Each structure stands twice: as C-alpha cells, then as structure tokens.
C-alpha cells in the first residue's frame, strides 16, 4: 500500500512538474479566477487604447502608450512584434514591479516614522523648509536629504524584493569559486541588509543617520553591493529612480498635511513573499496640523 501510494504521488509530481499551482485547491482556484478577471480587464484597456491610437486619439506618453507605439513600429519594420499576451504580461509587470513595491515602501516609511517621532519631525521640518505649503515639484525633491536618508534606511530594513535570482550563462569566477554555466544563484537581499558584519550590531534598528554620507558611507567602505533594494549590476531595476521620486513625493505630501502614530490595533507583520507587504495592513492615527483625528 505504501509503495502504491508512493508511486501515485511520484507520478503526480512527474505530471505536474512538482508545481503545486495546478492542484485545484481553494487558493489556486481563487488565483486563477483573479488572474482571468485581471486578464479580461487588461485586454479591454489595451484594445481601447489601440483603437484610440489608430484614429490618432491615443495617449502615447504613458507606459502603455509608449509600449504599444514601440510595438506597432516593430511590427511595421520587421513584421513581428509582441503578442497580446506579451503586452498583458508587461502590464502586469508595470503594476507588480512599479505599484505594489512603491506602495510598500511608502507604508513601511510611515511605520518607521510612527516608531521614531523625532525623525518624523526632522523630515517634516525639511519638507516645510523646501516647499512650505506649496505644491511639490521635482527640483525641490533633489534637496530632501533627510527624506532620502530615511527612505534608504527603510529600503534596507524592508526591501521591496526580499531576494533575487540570477543565472550564469557561462562559467563564471565569483570570488574563490568557479561557477559552471546554467547555475541559478539566489541572493537573499533581506539577510544581506540585516547582516551585522556589514551594517554593525545595530543592523536591525531604524537609524537613517547611517546614510548621512551616502550608501558608501553606510556600508563602511564595503561597496554598494551590500545595499540591494533594487538589485544591482547590469540587471538593476530600471525604475529605481522613478520609484524614489514617487516615494519622496508621497511622503512629502503626507508630512505637509499630517502627523501620524501607531493605532493601538497595529500589529507588526512583514510578510515575505515576492514582495514584502504588511500581512495585516498598517493601522495608523493621522492628525491634521496637530489636531485630534
């Protein structure tokens, strides 16, 4: 009986390639349902944009417009281009890589500033000095040194991606190791960012002042390879600068108008998946101009 069960399980593993997403569990059914809904929604948006562009009314200066315009040009020149499925997958990537990660950064920044009210005050004073009550503008963002230090420290403690995988396409020398072609290497960003040998005994603490002299100063001369919130090297995240501008803008707008602190119902719950969202959300109390909420 044991041998029979083992053979059946082994056969199932062979059929599905050890991929549990094909098993019709409640979670997998919900995932497939959400995936289909998302696909239909994206197809509608893409079709509408393509029709608008065909009659000269499409918006071409956003990510979707630029992608479709480039694809149309590629098809005209080479006869082949991205399929509808390819465009849909790129749109999913826009959201996951560009929206969820940045929103997580903003949320964890508010958590850290709720934990450390002194740094929240410093950041607000800098923002008011640069912008006052005026609208946030790009030139002013360049002068938010304290906010940049805070964001870098939040990215260290709560990186948008907890790990990254790279593959060798040829035999590669890495330190004292010779790695064969075709090997997949996982870099545990979360562990690197909390390594006491790299960051000191206070590696688990929120201390933006460690970035006072930039990333090289924070890593005590060990190089920027110790700080990998957007990965690094030739495959570094293409949207890192845009993400930082988004985060600075959001934090500046919030601190212009509100102070905030933890709600009694707040539960600290970093949930490591592909990204690092708070599992139970973040419950905060916001006050406008120091007034009661």
Binding-site annotation: residue ranges for heme: 237
In 3D, which of 60, 66, 69, 67 has the Cα closest to residue 87? 67
**Annotated binding site, which residues?**
237
Report CA 186 to chain centroid distance, whole Å: 17
| Residue whose C-alpha is closest to residue 160's, from 91, 88, 86, 246 | 246
Contact 222, 256 (CB under 8 A): no
Q: CA–CA separation, 128 vs 289, rounded Å?
A: 13
Tell me the DSSP string of 207-255.
Answer: -GGGGTTHHHHHTTTS-GGG--BTB-GGG--TTHHHHHHHHHHHHHHHH
The token pair that represents 117 in the structure block: 């009210």
Quick one: angle between helices 145-157 and 117-131, nearest 10? 140
Residues found in the chain: 293
């Amino acid at each position: 009986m044991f041998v029979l069960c083992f053979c059946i399980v082994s056969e199932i593993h062979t059929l599905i390639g050890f991929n549990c997403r094909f098993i019709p569990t409640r979670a997998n059914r919900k995932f497939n349902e959400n995936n289909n809904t998302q696909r239909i929604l994206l197809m509608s948006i893409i079709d509408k944009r393509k029709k608008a562009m065909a009659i000269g009314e499409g918006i071409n200066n956003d990510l979707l417009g630029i992608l479709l315009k480039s694809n149309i040009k590629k098809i005209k020149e080479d006869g082949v281009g991205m399929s509808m499925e390819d465009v849909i997958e790129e749109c999913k990537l826009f959201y996951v890589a560009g929206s969820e990660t940045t929103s997580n950064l903003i949320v964890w920044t508010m958590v850290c500033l709720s934990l450390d009210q002194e740094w929240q005050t410093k950041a607000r004073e800098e923002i008011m000095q640069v912008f006052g009550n005026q609208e946030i503008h790009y030139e002013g963002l360049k002068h938010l040194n304290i906010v940049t230090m805070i964001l870098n420290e939040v990215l260290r403690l709560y990186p948008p991606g907890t790990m990254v995988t790279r593959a060798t396409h040829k035999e590669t020398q890495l330190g004292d190791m010779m790695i064969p072609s075709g090997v997949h290497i996982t870099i545990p960003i979360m562990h690197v960012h909390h390594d006491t040998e790299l960051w000191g005994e206070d590696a688990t603490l929120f201390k933006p002042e460690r970035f006072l002299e930039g990333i090289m100063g924070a890593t005590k001369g060990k190089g920027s390879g110790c700080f990998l919130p957007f990965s690094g090297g030739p495959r570094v995240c293409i949207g890192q600068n845009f993400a930082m501008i988004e985060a600075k803008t959001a934090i500046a707008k919030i601190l212009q108008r509100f102070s905030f602190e933890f709600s009694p119902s707040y539960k600290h719950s970093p949930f490591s998946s592909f990204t690092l969202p708070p599992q139970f959300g973040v419950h905060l109390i916001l006050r406008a101009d120091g007034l009661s909420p």
